[in-house]
Amino acid sequence: MNDLRMMPRLITPVVVWLITTSLLVAAPSLDSVDPSVAGSPALGSGGWWVALVVLTAQAVVLLERGSRPLPVLLVVAAAPVVVALSGAGDATSLSSAAVLVAVWSAVTSTPLPDRVRALAGALAGAGLLVAVGTSLSQTSIGLPAGTAILAGLVQGAGVIVLPALLAATVRARRDAQAARTDLALAVEREQSAQIAAAIAEERTAMARELHDIAAHHLTGIAVMTGAVERQIDTDPAGAKESVRHVRTQSTAMLRELRGLVTLLRSPGQAEDAGGQERLSQLASLVEEARRAGLEVELSTLGTGAAIESVGPLAQLSAYRTVQECLANAARHAPGAGCVVVLDTQDPAEVVVTVRNGPPATPVPSGGRPARRGLGLVGMQERADLTDSILEAGPTAEGGWQTRLRITA
């Protein structure tokens, strides 16, 4: 495993060493073709061996460019001076290949902005070393001092400035991509926290409501049924009155349980808990959405009598689900057609399907990452409460479909 991790570190130094040493070996032969431009050391001479050792040392030092990029840059940039002082002549330029790699690593891996001054200093120092080494090598092969210095400055700028600018551009693009990724992750974590908080709040409210119902109504019912048991033989009139009280308490409890279901809807929807919405009222809901501008149609398959086999809580859950789907279609797919299908053909279940097409015009995002709402979470909570099955997801045409299966 360690060997596999070292492979990327080894590849670049090995490639640089192979290229530069191959050119060092081939340079004397190339110079012999045109003696007027000969400036490389003879094969096997002292300068040639010094150049070979320095090029090898550069490749070894480059292995540490990831952990210590700035020291590596300065050490590698000192190589042209050493090669030039050894009398290697034009072979000095071969050491610039390793400097290019070191500059790239220094710019792309140095922590910023806390070490920007150190990076600037290392680049300036490396450029000066390359310029000095090139000037010395050009002087040694007979160029005038002014020309040699100019050549050194050009070589230093070409080896340091241009690669640094390119590496800075690549780093800026990489940092921007990383920032966008971090922003998306932060938004995702925020959404998860909001969903968890909403669910916890709803569960707390449900527990509080259930406690109140149990403490008030069920306790009263238990007391009154105990009285009925004692009165049924001795005081029939009193027993009938107690039964009427039991009926009153039971009706009130059912009404409050119906209100408890509304706690499962998405935050921000202020709906009256006292109203009992049913599947038979879907036509009114669709008509209301149509008046609001949504292109929606209602299709009923089967007989309406089968709806009565569905309990009131399940009917309220289905009604709220359709209501949420129509609101989502109007919000996220403006101008798209929408179809609500109430299928009661199977006597064992009632299936409610809401399907809308893709938006007629793109919905502006405002330049911020898309946020998932909490509506789907509320729908799933309602379905779980009534032992129903919720299926929701995009369609092949680019729209959205939500299907709720209710056991009859």
- The pLDDT tens digits of the residues spanning 208-240 come to 656 555 555 565 666 667 777 777 778 888 777
Question: What is the arithmetic mean of pLDDT over 390-402?
Answer: 92
Calculate what percentage of the chain has a pLDDT beyond 70.
80
Same domain, 179 and 326: no
Domain boundary among 184, 208, 230: 184
- The pLDDT tens digits of the residues spanning 148-161 come to 888 888 888 888 88
Residue 237: inside a domain: no
Which CATH number is 380's domain given? 3.30.565.10
Residue 269: inside a domain: no
Name which of 216-225, 283-292, 295-304, 353-362 the model is least confident about.
216-225
Residue 198: inside a domain: no
Q: How many residues are present in the chain? A: 408
Per the model's pLDDT, the better-predicted residue between 242 and 24 turns out to be 24
pLDDT value at residue 403: 95
pLDDT value at residue 273: 41
Name which of 135-149, 165-179, 234-248, 268-282 the model is least confident about.
268-282
pLDDT at 110 over 80: yes
pLDDT at 204 over 80: no
Domain boundary among 124, 152, 184: 184
Per the model's pLDDT, the better-predicted residue between 248 and 263 turns out to be 248
pLDDT at 339 over 90: yes
pLDDT at 365 over 80: no
Per the model's pLDDT, the better-predicted residue between 237 and 318 turns out to be 318
Angle between helices 96-109 and 2-33 (to 10 degrees): 150
Give dist(CA 169, CA 57) in Å, integer: 29
Amino acid at 345: Q
Same domain, 177 and 288: no
pLDDT value at residue 343: 92
Same domain, 152 and 12: yes
Enter the pTM of the model: 0.46
Close Cβ partners of 5 (under 8 Å, ≥ 6 residues apart): none
Residue 233: inside a domain: no
Same domain, 144 and 8: yes
Residue 246: inside a domain: no
Residue 300: inside a domain: yes
pLDDT at 7 over 90: no
What's the structural domain count of the chain? 2
Same domain, 163 and 306: no
Residue 152: inside a domain: yes
Domain boundary among 157, 184, 211: 184
pLDDT value at residue 405: 93
At CA 134, angle to CA 130 and CA 138, rounded to 5?
175
Which range of residues forms the domain containing residue 29?
2-184
Rg of the Cα atoms in the chain? 40
- The pLDDT tens digits of the residues spanning 55-108 come to 899 999 988 888 888 999 999 999 888 888 887 777 888 888 889 999 998 888
pLDDT value at residue 153: 86
Mean pLDDT of all residues in the chain?
79
Confidence of residue 391 (pLDDT cuts 50, 70, 90): very high
Residue 241: inside a domain: no
